[in-house]
Structure 1
Amino acid sequence: MNAPGLDSVFGSVHLGYLVIESNQLADWRRFGADAIGLHCDELDNGLLRFRLDDQQCRFLLRRGPAEDVVAAGWHIDDHTTFEQIEARILAHGVPVTHGTAEEAAARGVARLLRFPGPKGIAQEIYAEPLMADEPLRMRASGFVTGDGGMGHIAITSTKPTQIRGYFTTVFDARLTDYIDETISGIKAKMRFLRVNERHHTIAVANVQGLPIDPIRTSIQHLNIQAATLDDVARSYQRVCELGFDMSLSVGQHTNDKELSYYARTPSGFDWEVGWNPVVVDESTWEPTTYQGISIWGHTPVGQTIIDRLDQFRLAALSLGHREETVPALAGDGIPDD
């Protein structure tokens, strides 16, 4: 475990891109470009890339059967910190591989290093993002990236303390807060972890008292932050008009105060578009436990009894699956405070 200190990489790590594997690239193009409002580039080899800002790639869509996020890319501030993280991984006996020139080019980075991550999501680090030559062509006015990275990911887990331990070991993640919530009679606890000024870059939820995971995909949702409230409203309208499913209506979260909605992606996990979350002040922040995820709104949209039964089926199936946690990097796990 790496305590904050002189060798801490906290603040030098930013969520940079996600790699999504899907056989529904046409639907993904409509969802990302036409509904959410992102810039879309179609590469010669059949890959899709979405941009939020000047970086060449924020989302890479590649053809394949997973219908899931398969890799997370982390922008590291400099090569010294990059090599420090690499040394950590190797010191724990975990193998690393260098991405090929073709893989780096597809992701819009100069070079990348890959190593195993929780839930089967490969973790990739890079120090030099490549900037696009062409101006953005988006339906949205813009998105907030910068020092906070491009957003966050949320996962469900049967081993949440090990996942918290993993991101603390690798990136010196810090606990921001907790949320306790009861959903359809099931009690869940959510942990929110930050690696920079963004309130959280990783959220981890588990069903309390039961070793089940009700989510098929490796992530439950991903989040991007819109520049304006108008962008949130207009993208919500486009999602509905284009016939994509809405998972949760507009609402505001209790802990980070972000106003957002959740749409269902073509691959089945959710995509949150939010606005105006709080920024953490490291000199004063203290972790807090909140009761419920929302101050108002975020009500389920169009959920049927069949949907709920399917979640119970997935939860039952998860009992027979061994969840990947990369024990060598998780330490003994961090007990809840």
Structure 2
Amino acid sequence: MSPHENASVFGAVHLGYLVIETERFADWRRFGADAVGMHHDDLDTGLMRFRLDDRECRFLLRRGPAEDVVATGWHLDDHTVFEEIEARVRAHGVPVVHGTAEEAAQRGVERLLRFPGPKGITQEICTTPLKSALPLRMLASGWVTGDAGMGHVAITSTRPTLVRGYFGTVFDARLTDCIDETISGVKLKIRFLRVNERHHSLAVAAVRGLPIDPVRTRVQHLNIQAATLDDLARSYQRVHELGFDMALSVGRHTNDKELSYYARTPSGFEWEVGWNPIVVDESTWQPTTHQGISVWGHTPVGRTIVDALDRFRAGARSLARTEKTVPALSGAGIPDE
């Protein structure tokens, strides 16, 4: 074992920001600011940001054709943790690139490093997120961020063991729990990984027994946590009133007990707004497997046979392409329950 694998970074890693590439700036501005209720800033004609709190950036949107999340940014507690993870990645022979001062400024951080991640999503680590002196202008009363980070990211994968191994190797992620679910006759296994007290910062879903990925985008959904139940309800109403597609109605999850809904973003992946998930107690927590993703609700909205055919086509197309992995960083597997 490399010496850089001995010092755990668990608890010192927090989901800090996401980078989204899109050509649909006007739609995203309406979705993020007017529907979800976040603070919005235009940087220039090809860049804009959303804020949730006093941090300068939580979502960086840049012009480009991907219509997807292209990078995940992880805020680290200090430079010691930054250097530990950098050394860990380098020790496995994976290339790293230091971000420029301009790139760090766009993300509102002091120090920036990037390296390859699963499904072609670049992983970025940073220190010292910058706070904005400008007051928040948003429709929500607030969002829950803090030591637990700002929410979570969910992906689908044909190589879930490698994905779990990657985040175990790089960030010492731990398995929180699993969900077995059957949707439209397709059996799914979903693993939930945490890097701090938040129930999960990453969810990895895989079709059981079939090497297919039914989702076009690299990210299936991302999540932010509303400060109050009223914030959740009002954003749900605004999404409807502004004509954005609702993917799943309000419901409560079986594992983290979060109350939430899922809207469809202008880029096509889903956006979950949640409220009041449980917090993991490391002294007592034991991974378990739940049957079904929801205690109640989360019913599909407006789904048609055309949607089902689109998912089938996406799954069939995934058979013809190889999912991007980072084998050198995928060896420290996270065992199932």
Matched with 1:315 is 315
Paired residues of 2:166 and 2:332 also in contact (CA < 8 A): no
Change (3 A) 1:59 1:25: same
Paired residues of 1:191 and 1:204 also in contact (CA < 8 A): yes
Give the residue type in structure 2 aligned to 1:264: R
Matched with 1:90 is 90
More moved, 88-97 vs 42-51: 42-51
Matched with 2:254 is 254
Cα distance in 2 for residues equivalent to 1:38 and 1:11 = 27
More moved, 287-296 vs 98-107: 98-107
Give the residue type in structure 2 aligned to 1:90: R
Cα distance in 2 for residues equivalent to 1:95 and 1:172 = 19
Matched with 1:168 is 168
Paired residues of 1:153 and 1:222 also in contact (CA < 8 A): yes
TM-fit CA distance, 1:133: 1.2
> Secondary structure in 2 aligned to 1:227?
coil
Moved over 3 A (4+): 332-337
Cα distance in 2 for residues equivalent to 1:166 and 1:122 = 13
TM-fit CA distance, 1:100: 1.1
The one-character-per-residue Cα deviations of 1:44-85 (angstroms, maximum 9, x if unpaired) are 353110000000000000000000000000000000010000
The one-character-per-residue Cα deviations of 1:160-200 (angstroms, maximum 9, x if unpaired) are 01100000000000000000000000000000000000000
Give the residue type in structure 2 aligned to 1:331: G
Give the residue type in structure 2 aligned to 1:245: D
Give the residue type in structure 2 aligned to 1:80: T
Paired residues of 1:2 and 1:8 also in contact (CA < 8 A): no
The one-character-per-residue Cα deviations of 1:247-269 (angstroms, maximum 9, x if unpaired) are 00000000000000000000000
Matched with 1:39 is 39
Identity over aligned pairs, percent: 77
> In the alignment, is residue 272 of structure 1 matched against residue 272 of structure 2?
yes
> Secondary structure in 1 aligned to 2:310?
helix
The one-character-per-residue Cα deviations of 1:126-168 (angstroms, maximum 9, x if unpaired) are 0110111101111000000001100000000001011000000
Cα distance in 2 for residues equivalent to 1:2 and 1:243 = 53
More moved, 271-280 vs 104-113: 104-113
TM-fit CA distance, 1:334: 4.3
Cα distance in 2 for residues equivalent to 1:27 and 1:192 = 31
Paired residues of 1:116 and 1:123 also in contact (CA < 8 A): yes
Cα distance in 2 for residues equivalent to 1:131 and 1:332 = 35
Cα distance in 2 for residues equivalent to 1:83 and 1:95 = 15
Cα distance in 2 for residues equivalent to 1:182 and 1:95 = 39
Matched with 1:103 is 103
Aligned residues: 337
> Secondary structure in 2 aligned to 1:43?
strand
Correspondence list, 1:230-309, <5 A: 230-309=230-309
Cα distance in 2 for residues equivalent to 1:325 and 1:190 = 18
Cα distance in 1 for residues equivalent to 2:138 and 2:232 = 14
More moved, 179-188 vs 101-110: 101-110
The one-character-per-residue Cα deviations of 1:226-255 (angstroms, maximum 9, x if unpaired) are 000000000000000000000000000000
Paired residues of 2:178 and 2:288 also in contact (CA < 8 A): yes
Give the residue type in structure 2 aligned to 1:214: P
Give the residue type in structure 2 aligned to 1:152: H
Matched with 1:116 is 116
TM normalised by structure 2 equals 0.98
> Secondary structure in 2 aligned to 1:114?
strand
Matched with 1:59 is 59
TM normalised by structure 1 equals 0.98
Which stretches in structure 2 are left out of the alignment for 5+ residues? none
Cα distance in 2 for residues equivalent to 1:219 and 1:44 = 26
What's the C-alpha RMSD, in Å, of the aligned pairs? 1.5
Matched with 1:218 is 218
Cα distance in 1 for residues equivalent to 2:273 and 2:141 = 13
Paired residues of 1:246 and 1:263 also in contact (CA < 8 A): yes
Matched with 1:21 is 21
Cα distance in 2 for residues equivalent to 1:326 and 1:336 = 21
Which stretches in structure 1 are left out of the alignment for 5+ residues? none
Cα distance in 2 for residues equivalent to 1:84 and 1:314 = 39
